[in-house]
Amino acid sequence: QKVKDSMRVLLPVLLNKSHDSYDKIRAILLYIFSTNGTTQENLDKLIQNVQIESDSDMIRNWKYLDVPVISSFVAQQHKYPRRDRSKEETFQLSRWTPVIKDVMEDAVENKLDSKDWPYCSRCPPTWNGSGAV
C-alpha cells in the first residue's frame, strides 16, 4: 500500500525518544530515497528537530554515491503554481501541459517572481504593453 503523506508517518518515528539516532537516520534516509530527494530547508529542519547534528554527515554523504539527497527539482516542482487549464481545448493525445508553458506565459505577462527568477528583467517604466520584453 502506497504511503500518501510520508512526512506524517515519519515524524512520530523521529520524535519518539525510545529510538536511537541510527534508527532515526535510517528513517530519514528512507524518506529521502522514497521522495527522490528533499529540499535543503526540509533536511535541515529534520536534522535539528531530531537532534542528530553531529551525525548529519551520514545523511549528506550519500550525495557522493549519486543519491539525490538535495533535489532542486523537488523544490521547483512544488513551488511554482500551475494554471487551471481544464477549460482549454486540447488534442486527444496531448492533455498534459508542461510547466514551462506556465513559466513562459508568466514571463510574457510580466508576472514572474523576481526572487525565483532574478535574471528575468522587469519591464521598463515606459513600456506600453505592446509585446514581450
pLDDT at 93: 66
Distances, alpha carbon 64 to alpha carbons 15, 56, 59, 68, 69, in Å: 28, 14, 11, 9, 10
Distance CA 78, CA 80 (A): 6
Contact by Cβ (8 Å): 105, 132: no
- Digitized pLDDT (tens) for each residue of the chain, 133 residues in all: 677 788 888 888 888 889 888 998 999 988 888 888 888 888 888 888 888 888 888 888 888 888 888 876 544 444 567 777 767 776 666 667 778 888 888 888 888 888 877 777 665 555 566 655 5
Domains of the chain: 6-65 (1.25.40.60), 79-124 (no CATH)
Contact by Cβ (8 Å): 24, 14: yes
| Grid cell for residue 123 | 519591464
Give the global pTM: 0.51
CA angle 11, 15, 17 (to 5 degrees): 150
Alpha helices by DSSP H, listed for the chain, are 6-15, 21-35, 40-50, 57-60, 72-79, 99-108
Q: Give the dihedral sign, CA 10/15/19/21.
A: positive
